[in-house]
Amino acid sequence: MRYRKKTAAIMMLAAVTLLGIAYLPVLAQQGAGQGGGPGAAGTGDVNTSNLAATIATLPVDPLSEAEREGILYVREEEKLAHDVYTVLYEKWGLQIFANIAASETTHMAAMKLLIDRYGLDDPATEELGVFTNPKLQKLYDDLVAKGTKSLIDALEVGGIIEEVDIVDIQGYLKAVDNEDIKLVYENLLKGSRNHLRAFVSTLERYGVTYEPQFLSQEEYQGIVTSPMERGSGGGN
């Protein structure tokens, strides 16, 4: 898969300095196996049945190259989030990772609706941690390396992933004319904002203040100080 341009967020992430926060075993013990609370299943899910029904009422307009590029990239980017959270749940046993990994499955399914609708070749492999796009492969490797250092690093990785998702999707959304693509992206953004809220609030419970790395301070504060959003999927 070829891309004419890479998002600034992905380029910046390669330069992020990994934070050397010491691992405190008690945190993993306190957080392991928690259910509900921040990151509970449903807070960032996309209702793909409703979304598919709504998309079916919209016209199938020709794709621009930017729209095609965005669909392919975001499809794999959502897989990256799913795969990283799956690995981090296996490592730390903290329920937020399992919950949000499940939510990312609905995000991947939402993008698959567009892949199928426009007859595109799906870049997402079924193998955990394997990506067609080499930039996403490196990003996955870097994030897993950071996230397996400590539980706090793992939760910060969650914040990073959701920030990057928001920045990237907002960037692609600017170049979109087709209403069905706009609808899917808007649903993904709602889910990613909820996921970011969940990671930030979980870090706060462990006495850590998350600092945004890709969103402006104003946009970040606007997200984390507002309530969880509901109704993903078809605008319902």
* DSSP state for residue 60 in the 8-state scheme: -
Residue 204: pLDDT band with limits 50, 70, 90: very high
Q: What is the pLDDT of residues 53-74, one digit of tens each?
A: 999 999 999 999 999 999 999 9
CATH homologous superfamily of 70-224 equals Ferritin, core subunit, four-helix bundle (1.20.1260.10)
- Structure tokens given for 36: 């509900």
User: In angstroms, rounded to a whole number, what is the distance separating the alpha carbons of residues 230 and 185?
Assistant: 15
| Domains of the chain, residue spans | 70-224
**Number of helical H runs and strand E runs in the chain:** 9, 0
Three-state secondary structure string covering 197-218: HHHHHHHHHCCCCCCCCCCCHH
CA 201 → CA 67, 101, 228, distances in Å? 34, 17, 12
Is residue 235's pLDDT more than 60?
Answer: no
Residues 6+ apart with CB under 8 A from 69: 3, 4, 172
CA 52 → CA 10, 72, 175, 190, distances in Å? 30, 18, 22, 17
- From the CA atom positions of the chain, what is the Rg in Å? 17
Amino acid at 31: G
Question: Is the pTM above the cut of 0.85?
Answer: no
Q: What is the pLDDT of residues 101-153, one digit of tens each?
A: 999 999 999 999 999 999 999 999 999 999 999 999 999 999 999 999 999 99
